Every structure is written in structure tokens, then in C-alpha cells.
Amino acid sequence: MKGGYASLAGRIRRSLLDLERVVIRASQLADKARARGDEDYLDGVALNLHGFYAGVERVFEDIARTMEKSIPDGSEWHRDLLMQMSADVASVRPTVVSVETSRCLEEYHGFRHIVRNVYTFNLRPARLEELTSGLRDCYQLVTNDLENFCIFLEQLSVADEAT
């Protein structure tokens, strides 16, 4: 797979930059909602929290498609993909995310589902605040894990080039 691993690492790193922007925007909008007492900003917070998990999930899909040639299907495929990324796949790849990161992402996965199925005016502001306050830490866990995975990919790429 000459070049494929390095290319995947590049796509992951690019996605991490986009995810950072989402984290910043969610935080800024939550700050505006608090400072101005204007709950209309919470719609943007919800959208960015949804976008955070959707972005992470796109990275996971890219990894699964490239490394394992398999993305889960069925009604629980979102949850299955997260579980797939927190599992070691013998002779293919190590775990992509740690158990701690997976747990943190489960919160955003659940919220993503809610945002897709509920009107934003029905969302609880306290829950939005809770998720926003934990977003930076979760993003950092994701970043650390994905950066380690990129290093693994680059090592595979070097090994491929040597053969």
C-alpha cells in the first residue's frame, strides 16, 4: 500500500485541525450564550457538538476503510465503529483510541443522535454546557490518540517504501 498510509496520516492530521476549529467555535458560542443570556446561541453550540463527533466519526470511517476494508453496517453501526476503533485488530493495526477516549466520545455520540432526532429548542441548556465544558479535554484525548496512530501509519509507510 505504497503511499496509502502516509496519505491516511495526512488526512487524519488535517481533520484534527478542522476539529480544533469546531471545539473553539462551540466554546465561543457557549460563552456568548452565557454572557448575553441569549439561548439562541445554544443552537450553534449544539451544531458544533454534533459536528465534533461527526468529524471524529469520519476519521474513523477513513481508518476502517483504509486499514480494514470494512465499515460496520446495520442500525448500530455508529456505536460499532467506535468499538472497532477502540479494539486492536491483529496483524492490521493497534487500537486507534484508548478506552478513556472511547468513553469520552460515547457522550458526544449519544448527543449526536439526540441532535439529529430532536428540535434544538428541546435541548437542555445544562447538558449543552456540560458537553461544551468537557469538549476541550475530549478533543485532546482524541488528538493524542490519533497523533500516536499517525506515527504508527508513518512507520508502516517507511516499511512499505523499504520493500
Task: Delineate the domains of the chain, giving CATH numbers in brackets.
Answer: 4-162 (1.20.120)
Tens-digit pLDDT profile for residues 48-87: 999 999 999 999 999 999 999 999 999 999 999 999 999 9
Q: Of 67, 62, 59, 22, nearest to 146 (Cα)?
A: 59
- pLDDT, averaged across the chain: 92
* pLDDT (0 to 100) of residue 67: 94
Q: Of 133, 39, 141, nearest to 85 (Cα)?
A: 141
